[in-house]
Structure 1
């Protein structure tokens, strides 16, 4: 077991995947170890709670209540709350459908597929965005996604010194887009409104205020020009167009042999 003091001394080396034992499971089995409980059930319940209540309300006691066990029972399978959050983070990356990246000529479709899958994880699980930069994120599912992304970026033809920049351009865009989208959907749900209802009410409130209305005049014209009858349709158009810009940018940089 890694102590809190050890974690504080070496945060850059701390990960549930680096502790020399099966991730998230205490070694050995003791007589008092709970039955009817396992790591997979604990992680699944953690993901459900994080989805429904968010990271701010998550606690080991709340998780134990959800599982109908004692808090100490959970600690037979994970050492700390952070370990459990890291396991949950990797679990949701298991939802990502990885494309076959063997054909280098198909990199455009491969890149789009990975971008769409990454966005989906961020939207379905809004708590994920805050954890991605908090943990090393080196679990098997996360690494599978990362390796696929790297292979696709090599397939683009960008020189080695430009591949990380290309990766950042695409996937940091997706991270920002998916994070904002996920938080907006959460806010609508908390207000008891659909996305379209929330958008109409928000825009109506803005138009009622002369100062805001004046500043939002150009924005309203842009939103009209972007097309789409619903918030979801407008968002899809924006995402697709932005991704096409990034693909075109990669193609242009390859053509310049940067």
Structure 2
């Protein structure tokens, strides 16, 4: 398969079908290949699952000239083996579906963070819809930590892929020292993006309410189609797990690129 590989974990549901179609659409923008992955708890289930996935591919939007799709069904579990397989195959991206806030308790939410932090491979989390509209604006929240800036290159790659504009958003600080820190972070991002000719908008969000709610509302106001963020467990954002989950399962069903800032290595997908 291509060295530029996208992995799609499929749970044999309609959500998995839509996740595959989103990946095919994404893969058309890059010379890539797709691994459709399903994990079972015993070998006796492999043949039936593989037959199901073969039908999924046959009935998908795939057409001649689209990314090559390979099916793999193996014994394992999502918490240990998605990350392991993505690293063994040097995947550039894992595209994973979620049922949104309703399904958080079952697959994602805090479980999603466990899967994402098991690997250095970036995750694109999509909800139960196929994204046909163009991606023109990507909202990227940053905080006072250097780890939050590790999403910057990934967001730039996305911007080039879609010819999109990156909206870097931080939170206004009333403390003078913290305000200076966020100002420095923003200046670094601005300088790097200007050097790379990345279209960008820098915004500090004020007002009352949680930062996560401000970020979601901002994305609505500017009609952004995607979020991108770096997950880091030591974030200065309060309850960052909840922050990440809010973006992953946002009510507008915008896709969310999320990386584990402690493990990332590839800055291109």
TM-score of the superposed pair, with normalisation by structure 1: 0.21
Structure with higher strand content: 2
Higher Rg: 1
Structure with higher helix content: 1
